[in-house]
Structure 1
Protein backbone atom coordinates (compact mmCIF):
# COMPACT_ATOMS: atom_id res chain seq x y z
CA UNK A 1 0.00 0.00 0.00
CA UNK A 2 1.43 3.38 -0.97
CA UNK A 3 1.46 6.43 1.30
CA UNK A 4 -1.29 7.98 -0.83
CA UNK A 5 -3.47 4.91 -0.37
CA UNK A 6 -2.90 5.06 3.40
CA UNK A 7 -3.90 8.72 3.43
CA UNK A 8 -7.13 7.93 1.57
CA UNK A 9 -8.22 5.19 3.98
CA UNK A 10 -11.35 6.19 5.90
CA UNK A 11 -10.26 4.12 8.90
CA UNK A 12 -7.02 5.95 9.60
CA UNK A 13 -6.74 7.44 13.07
CA UNK A 14 -8.24 10.80 13.92
CA UNK A 15 -7.39 12.48 17.21
CA UNK A 16 -9.44 15.20 18.91
CA UNK A 17 -7.96 16.60 22.14
CA UNK A 18 -9.92 18.81 24.52
CA UNK A 19 -9.61 19.85 28.16
CA UNK A 20 -12.40 18.92 30.57
CA UNK A 21 -12.07 20.18 34.15
CA UNK A 22 -8.30 20.40 33.81
CA UNK A 23 -7.99 16.89 32.35
CA UNK A 24 -6.84 16.37 28.76
CA UNK A 25 -9.41 14.13 27.05
CA UNK A 26 -8.11 12.66 23.80
CA UNK A 27 -10.85 11.17 21.64
CA UNK A 28 -9.66 8.78 18.95
CA UNK A 29 -11.43 7.21 16.00
CA UNK A 30 -10.16 4.67 13.51
CA UNK A 31 -7.43 2.09 13.80
CA UNK A 32 -4.26 2.18 15.88
CA UNK A 33 -1.42 0.41 14.13
CA UNK A 34 2.19 0.98 13.08
CA UNK A 35 1.17 3.54 10.44
CA UNK A 36 -0.36 5.91 13.02
CA UNK A 37 1.85 5.35 16.07
CA UNK A 38 3.50 8.75 15.58
CA UNK A 39 0.09 10.46 15.62
CA UNK A 40 -0.81 8.58 18.79
CA UNK A 41 2.54 9.43 20.41
CA UNK A 42 2.15 13.11 19.60
CA UNK A 43 -1.32 13.12 21.17
CA UNK A 44 -0.22 11.46 24.42
CA UNK A 45 3.45 12.17 25.03
CA UNK A 46 4.35 15.68 26.06
CA UNK A 47 7.48 17.77 26.26
CA UNK A 48 5.88 19.99 28.91
CA UNK A 49 6.58 18.67 32.39
CA UNK A 50 5.50 21.78 34.31
CA UNK A 51 2.05 20.39 35.10
CA UNK A 52 1.25 16.87 36.28
CA UNK A 53 -0.49 15.43 33.24
CA UNK A 54 -3.92 13.94 33.66
CA UNK A 55 -5.13 12.21 30.53
CA UNK A 56 -8.24 10.26 29.59
CA UNK A 57 -8.06 8.49 26.24
CA UNK A 58 -11.47 7.83 24.71
CA UNK A 59 -11.13 4.70 22.58
CA UNK A 60 -14.84 4.24 21.88
CA UNK A 61 -14.26 5.03 18.20
CA UNK A 62 -11.22 2.79 17.80
CA UNK A 63 -12.01 -0.46 16.00
CA UNK A 64 -8.54 -2.04 15.93
CA UNK A 65 -5.30 -1.78 17.89
CA UNK A 66 -2.06 -3.71 17.56
CA UNK A 67 1.14 -3.78 19.62
CA UNK A 68 2.14 -0.35 18.30
CA UNK A 69 -0.69 1.16 20.32
CA UNK A 70 0.20 -0.89 23.38
CA UNK A 71 3.79 0.40 23.23
CA UNK A 72 2.68 4.03 23.01
CA UNK A 73 0.20 3.62 25.88
CA UNK A 74 2.89 2.07 28.10
CA UNK A 75 5.35 4.88 27.25
CA UNK A 76 2.67 7.50 27.97
CA UNK A 77 1.79 5.81 31.26
CA UNK A 78 5.44 5.83 32.31
CA UNK A 79 5.81 9.50 31.38
CA UNK A 80 2.72 10.69 33.25
CA UNK A 81 3.55 8.55 36.29
CA UNK A 82 7.03 10.06 36.53
CA UNK A 83 5.41 13.50 36.42
CA UNK A 84 2.97 12.55 39.23
CA UNK A 85 0.05 12.43 36.80
CA UNK A 86 -2.19 9.67 35.50
CA UNK A 87 -3.51 8.07 32.33
CA UNK A 88 -6.90 6.37 32.03
CA UNK A 89 -8.60 4.64 29.12
CA UNK A 90 -12.32 5.03 28.48
CA UNK A 91 -14.86 3.32 26.27
CA UNK A 92 -12.65 0.72 24.60
CA UNK A 93 -14.67 -1.54 22.30
CA UNK A 94 -14.57 -5.26 23.13
CA UNK A 95 -11.93 -6.09 20.51
CA UNK A 96 -9.59 -3.32 21.71
CA UNK A 97 -10.25 -4.05 25.38
CA UNK A 98 -9.42 -7.69 24.74
CA UNK A 99 -5.99 -6.67 23.39
CA UNK A 100 -5.39 -4.50 26.46
CA UNK A 101 -6.39 -7.38 28.73
CA UNK A 102 -4.33 -10.02 26.89
CA UNK A 103 -1.10 -8.12 27.47
CA UNK A 104 -2.07 -6.93 30.95
CA UNK A 105 -2.21 -3.21 30.19
CA UNK A 106 -5.59 -3.00 31.95
CA UNK A 107 -3.87 -3.97 35.23
CA UNK A 108 -1.55 -0.96 34.95
CA UNK A 109 -3.67 1.63 33.13
CA UNK A 110 -7.22 1.82 34.48
CA UNK A 111 -9.87 1.09 31.85
CA UNK A 112 -13.37 2.53 32.33
CA UNK A 113 -16.59 2.01 30.35
CA UNK A 114 -17.22 5.76 29.87
CA UNK A 115 -15.35 9.07 29.80
CA UNK A 116 -17.39 10.27 32.77
CA UNK A 117 -16.34 7.28 34.88
CA UNK A 118 -12.71 7.77 33.88
CA UNK A 119 -12.82 11.46 34.78
CA UNK A 120 -14.42 10.76 38.17
CA UNK A 121 -12.35 7.72 39.19
Structure 2
Protein backbone atom coordinates (compact mmCIF):
# COMPACT_ATOMS: atom_id res chain seq x y z
CA UNK A 1 0.00 0.00 0.00
CA UNK A 2 1.42 3.40 -0.91
CA UNK A 3 1.59 6.28 1.52
CA UNK A 4 -1.75 8.01 1.95
CA UNK A 5 -3.69 5.09 0.49
CA UNK A 6 -6.49 3.81 2.68
CA UNK A 7 -7.51 0.22 3.15
CA UNK A 8 -11.07 -0.54 4.17
CA UNK A 9 -11.07 -2.83 7.17
CA UNK A 10 -14.69 -3.72 6.60
CA UNK A 11 -16.06 -2.21 9.80
CA UNK A 12 -19.17 -0.08 9.44
CA UNK A 13 -21.53 0.46 12.33
CA UNK A 14 -24.83 2.30 12.07
CA UNK A 15 -26.95 1.95 15.21
CA UNK A 16 -29.00 5.09 14.75
CA UNK A 17 -27.99 8.69 14.37
CA UNK A 18 -24.20 8.01 14.50
CA UNK A 19 -22.34 6.03 11.87
CA UNK A 20 -18.72 4.98 12.15
CA UNK A 21 -16.57 3.80 9.26
CA UNK A 22 -13.17 2.42 10.19
CA UNK A 23 -10.29 2.41 7.70
CA UNK A 24 -6.54 2.30 8.07
CA UNK A 25 -3.67 4.17 6.49
CA UNK A 26 -0.01 3.64 7.30
CA UNK A 27 -0.88 1.75 10.50
CA UNK A 28 -3.20 4.49 11.76
CA UNK A 29 -6.85 3.63 12.37
CA UNK A 30 -9.07 6.33 10.86
CA UNK A 31 -12.60 6.56 12.22
CA UNK A 32 -14.94 8.63 10.09
CA UNK A 33 -18.00 9.62 12.09
CA UNK A 34 -21.29 11.01 10.80
CA UNK A 35 -24.26 12.19 12.83
CA UNK A 36 -24.59 13.10 16.49
CA UNK A 37 -22.47 12.07 19.44
CA UNK A 38 -24.61 11.98 22.57
CA UNK A 39 -25.86 9.69 25.33
CA UNK A 40 -27.77 7.54 22.86
CA UNK A 41 -24.81 6.98 20.52
CA UNK A 42 -21.95 7.01 23.01
CA UNK A 43 -21.57 3.25 23.20
CA UNK A 44 -21.01 3.06 19.44
CA UNK A 45 -18.18 5.59 19.73
CA UNK A 46 -16.74 3.87 22.80
CA UNK A 47 -16.60 0.54 20.95
CA UNK A 48 -15.06 2.12 17.85
CA UNK A 49 -12.28 3.71 19.93
CA UNK A 50 -11.47 0.51 21.80
CA UNK A 51 -7.88 -0.46 21.04
CA UNK A 52 -7.45 -3.10 23.74
CA UNK A 53 -4.56 -5.41 23.03
CA UNK A 54 -3.10 -3.26 20.26
CA UNK A 55 0.45 -2.12 20.97
CA UNK A 56 1.01 1.64 20.52
CA UNK A 57 -2.46 2.30 19.04
CA UNK A 58 -2.84 5.36 16.84
CA UNK A 59 -6.30 6.69 15.99
CA UNK A 60 -7.46 9.69 13.97
CA UNK A 61 -11.14 10.60 14.34
CA UNK A 62 -12.58 12.45 11.34
CA UNK A 63 -15.32 14.73 12.69
CA UNK A 64 -16.17 16.49 9.41
CA UNK A 65 -19.67 14.99 9.32
CA UNK A 66 -20.51 15.21 13.03
CA UNK A 67 -23.30 17.70 13.65
CA UNK A 68 -23.47 17.61 17.47
CA UNK A 69 -21.43 16.49 20.46
CA UNK A 70 -22.44 16.60 24.12
CA UNK A 71 -20.63 15.81 27.36
CA UNK A 72 -20.94 12.08 26.66
CA UNK A 73 -18.73 12.42 23.59
CA UNK A 74 -16.31 14.72 25.38
CA UNK A 75 -15.90 12.19 28.20
CA UNK A 76 -15.43 9.32 25.74
CA UNK A 77 -12.70 11.20 23.89
CA UNK A 78 -10.92 12.08 27.16
CA UNK A 79 -11.11 8.45 28.33
CA UNK A 80 -9.81 7.25 24.95
CA UNK A 81 -6.97 9.77 25.13
CA UNK A 82 -5.95 8.48 28.56
CA UNK A 83 -6.22 4.85 27.49
CA UNK A 84 -4.35 5.26 24.21
CA UNK A 85 -1.54 7.39 25.63
CA UNK A 86 -1.23 4.93 28.52
CA UNK A 87 -0.66 2.21 25.92
CA UNK A 88 2.03 4.28 24.20
CA UNK A 89 -0.26 5.49 21.40
CA UNK A 90 -2.32 8.56 20.64
CA UNK A 91 -5.61 9.96 19.38
CA UNK A 92 -6.08 12.98 17.11
CA UNK A 93 -9.29 14.75 16.16
CA UNK A 94 -9.60 15.97 12.58
CA UNK A 95 -11.79 18.38 10.63
CA UNK A 96 -14.40 19.18 13.28
CA UNK A 97 -17.43 21.12 12.08
CA UNK A 98 -17.78 24.65 13.43
CA UNK A 99 -20.35 23.63 16.06
CA UNK A 100 -18.28 20.66 17.24
CA UNK A 101 -15.06 22.67 17.31
CA UNK A 102 -16.74 25.34 19.40
CA UNK A 103 -17.81 22.73 21.96
CA UNK A 104 -14.31 21.21 22.02
CA UNK A 105 -12.83 24.66 22.61
CA UNK A 106 -15.32 25.66 25.32
CA UNK A 107 -14.50 22.62 27.43
CA UNK A 108 -10.79 22.69 26.57
CA UNK A 109 -10.55 19.33 24.81
CA UNK A 110 -8.51 20.97 22.05
CA UNK A 111 -5.78 21.69 24.64
CA UNK A 112 -5.64 18.05 25.75
CA UNK A 113 -6.16 16.15 22.49
CA UNK A 114 -4.47 17.20 19.25
CA UNK A 115 -7.08 18.80 16.99
CA UNK A 116 -6.36 19.43 13.31
CA UNK A 117 -8.26 21.42 10.69
CA UNK A 118 -8.06 18.62 8.11
CA UNK A 119 -7.77 14.85 8.02
CA UNK A 120 -4.59 15.19 5.98
CA UNK A 121 -2.97 17.33 8.70
CA UNK A 122 -3.95 14.85 11.40
CA UNK A 123 -2.41 11.99 9.43
CA UNK A 124 0.73 13.94 8.56
CA UNK A 125 1.75 15.21 11.99
Q: Fold-level match, TM-score > 0.5? A: yes
**Structure 2 residue 74 is matched with structure 1 residue 79:** no
Out of 62, 65, 76, the residue aligned to residue 61 of structure 1 is: 65
Considering only aligned residues, what root-mean-square deviation do their CA atoms show, in Å? 1.1
Among 12, 23, 27, the alignment partner of 2:28 is 23
1:44 to 33, 39, 49: 49
Larger strand share, 1 or 2: 2
SS at match of 1:46: coil
Of structures 1 and 2, the one with the larger relative CO (CA 8 A, separation 6+) is 1
TM value normalised by structure 2: 0.86
Deviation at 1:46, TM superposition (A): 2.4
Q: How does 1:78-97 map to 2 (within 5 A)?
A: 78-97=82-101
TM normalised by structure 1 equals 0.88
Q: How many residues align?
A: 111
Question: Helix, strand or coil: the match of 1:111?
Answer: strand
Moved over 4 A (4+): none
1:104 corresponds, among 105, 108, 114, to 108
Distance in 2 of aligned mates of 1:84 and 1:46: 11
Name the one with the larger helix percent.
1
